Every structure is written in structure tokens, then in C-alpha cells.
Amino acid sequence: MSVEILEKEIKPGTTILNVEEIREDFPILAETFSSSKGPDIPLIYLDNAATTQKPRNVLEAIKNYYSHENANVHRAIHKLGERATVAFEKSRSKIADFINAPSARQVVFTRGTTEAINLVVNGWGRKFIKAGDEILLSEMEHHSNLVPWQLLAKEKGAKLRFIPFSKSKGTLQIGNLEHFLTERTRIISVTHMSNVFGTINPVRGLIQKAREHGIPVMLDGAQSVPHLPTDVQELDCDFLAFSGHKMCGPTGIGILYAKEKYLEEMDPYQGGGEMISAVWLDKATWNDPPHKFEAGTPNIAGAIALGAAVDYLNSIGMEKITTYEQKLTTYALSSLQSIEDMKIYGMAPFRGGVISFNLGEIHPHDMAQFLDSQGIAVRAGHHCAQPVMRKLEIPATTRASFYLYNTFDEIDRLVISLLKAREFFGHGTR
């Protein structure tokens, strides 16, 4: 499918994608919910930072694999095995092209961003981090880019240091980055885009500064890769981790990109079939990357379907998706700020389609349940970022997050439902 930008405007000053055409590609968006007070309520899905919906071509890729290609990859001589292997490795090449990796050898299939980060922590960190070394993170990290490093630091006697964020803006305070870099800093690992604030962090400058000190940098791209054109050669990051299910692909599949230097020197994260070159009773040698890090039977259907998701996003164009989402987010911010007692967390000048908020004294869980009664799916909680919530001195937020199939009318319906919530909960004022 090829989608053109329409030369028309739904909201003043806003040129958009043909979202109605895009929405037809996602069967689940036609879901409705019964209502005792009137006609069925249509689904408004605003929980895209947690997971995205899947277009037909991705669903068909999964069905086609199990219907026509189902076999294990790499080791089979028969035709089905060859067919599955070709599709599996073709998907790896598509993903490498999508992030402009120099080689498909630098793309390792994982179960998701969390496993990709753990792979680096265990395969590289356990080998090269020593007692007294320092690991530089940020205060706004998702637990998946915090807890694995905590475990490693405890095991090795290393120290974690943190780039702080501004409570008022939700932006990293990297103006004094040199203060956090010492002769003991061994790696920097930060989120490219915050899953709480939507902040797009200035990682290019951070990476350039790290280069001056010879420090490798890993980016958590779980929220950025699905929404922003991503060029690992331009970024010059050493590692990039991201998930398929947040970019129209299935769950249980993700990617670790790494520079070949690190893939060569890293130890395997898991042992088993496929990741070996030769095995004796008392020793083994390793396969070449990326297979060195893909022990056992992989998620073949998931990898192939992720390739289909990349095809879909490419057919629309990542630049167009980014532009549309930014305009949608700007409209949403303006609309939400018009509501009395609305508190929005994070006002970064460069941000993606994630808005965390609280309305008066209404608990986020109550708010999410009320919005669900209106057919609107949002997220409520600490968003796997408890240290962020502690610094903000709140237990949780409600979070609305957008993707290419969301509309301006859905934002209007969200605002109407939030006003209804204020009325329902007695205005929820302080």
C-alpha cells in the first residue's frame, strides 16, 4: 500500500496523512463496545507507547508463515526449511536497511528491547565492567534500562551515575555532561525518547561528547524507532535496542543493533543450538554474529512479521509519520491544556506523541477506567518508571500516546470525555 499526503486540512494549519485509508488497514480499529445508554461505542486506541495495533499485511505474514513456510531455519535441507530461512534472513536485511545499519550482520533478533539491553549488559558489561567502574544512565529511564545495570553494578562492584531531568520540563540536564564523565565511565545507556514525558533527548550531542572520551553509548529506542526516521550511522551509537510490537509488528520480537567491533568481542548471552561453531564435551566455539547471540529456535514468524511491519511503515514514509504525529501531539497538548485543573508532565520543545497527565485529584486508575467506559484506551500507572514518579512526587499518571492511525477527532473525543470525568468525579479539584 502506498499512502499519499492529502492536500487538505482537518484542523486549521494542519496537513495530514490519509488517516482514514490507513485505519482501514488495521482490523481492530473497527471494534466497538456495547453501551447501555445508546449505540455501540467505537474504540479509540491511545495506548501506543505500550503496544501498537497490527496492519493486515503483518497479520497475513504470520498466517502465511505457519500456512506455507513453517519449518526451522538455517539447519534444514528440505524446501520448507530453505523457504523459511530465506524469509527470516530477508527480514533481517529489511530491518538493517530501515535503521541504515552498515550490515545485516549487525542486527540481532531478540524478544524485545528488554532482552536486547540485557544482552549488552550480560554479553559486554559482565566482560568489561570492573569494580570501581561507572555506568552513566539518566533519571528518566524505563526499568528495562535501569534494573539490568543495577544487577551488574551489584555483581561487579561498579557505580551507577545519573544524568538528572528537569521536573518542570521533563528534559535531561546535559549542559554539564562533563561533570558526569570520569576516567572510570565505561558506558552510557540512555533512552532516546521518554515513555513518560515524550521527550526526544539530544542524543547526537551526547554521543559526540562520549566519542571524545572513548565511551560507548547504547540507546533505548523502544519509543523512538517506531516514530522517528532512525539512522544508526548518522547517530553513531554503538548499540540500539528496540521492539517490534511498538512499530506495528508482533510481540515477542525485538532488535539489538551493535557495531561489529562489539559483536565480535561480546560473549554470548545464552548457550544452545545455532550460536555455536563446534562443540566438544568440555568446550565450545562460537558462531559468527549475529547468530552467536541467537541460541535455539528463534521467533521465526515474529521476525518475518516484523519485516512486514517495516514494509508497511516504509510504504507510508517515516518522515510523513513523524510530521503527522508531531502535529497531532501539538493539537492534543493545546486541547488538554484548555481543561481546568489539568497537569501535564513534561514540556520539552522536541517531543513525540506521548502525553502524561493528571486531572485534579482524580486518581489515574479511576481516570483510565472512566475513559474505558467511553471506549478510550489509555495507560495509567508508573509506566515502568518508578524513580521518575518519585521525583515528580506523584504515584502515577494517565498517559495518552499516539500513532499514525489516530485522528484529530479522537483527540476531541478524549477532551470531551475528560470533561465528563471532571463532572462525574465532582470536578476532582484540589
Contacts of 222 (CB under 8 A, 6+ apart): 113, 142, 144, 191, 195, 241, 242, 243, 246
The DSSP 8-state label assigned to residue 178 in this structure reads: G
Phi-psi region of 252 (alpha: psi -120 to 50; beta: other; left: phi over 0): left
Residue of 5, 384, 415, 419 with catalytic role:
384
Contact 219, 192 (CB under 8 A): yes
Closest alpha carbon to 66 in 54, 88, 84: 84
The DSSP 8-state label assigned to residue 200 in this structure reads: B
The DSSP 8-state label assigned to residue 428 in this structure reads: G
Closest alpha carbon to 52 in 22, 88, 10: 22
Q: How many CB atoms lie within 10 A of CB 62?
A: 17
Contact 368, 398 (CB under 8 A): yes
Phi-psi region of 330 (alpha: psi -120 to 50; beta: other; left: phi over 0): alpha
CA dihedral 93, 237, 350, 23 (to 10 degrees): 10
Sign of CA dihedral 134, 139, 140, 142: positive
* CA distance linking residue 298 with residue 123, whole number of Å: 18
Q: Which cell is 196 given?
A: 513518560
The DSSP 8-state label assigned to residue 258 in this structure reads: E
Burial 170-184 (b: 16+ CB within 10 A, else e): bbbebeebeebbeee
* CA angle (378, 384, 388) in 5-degree steps: 100
Q: Which cell is 119 given?
A: 544482552
* CA distance linking residue 229 with residue 225, whole number of Å: 7
Instruction: Please tell me whether the peptide bond between 290 and the residue prior to it is cis, using omega within 30 degrees of 0.
Output: yes
Annotated active-site residue 384? The verdict is yes
* CA distance linking residue 339 with residue 362, whole number of Å: 14
- Enumerate the active-site residues: 384
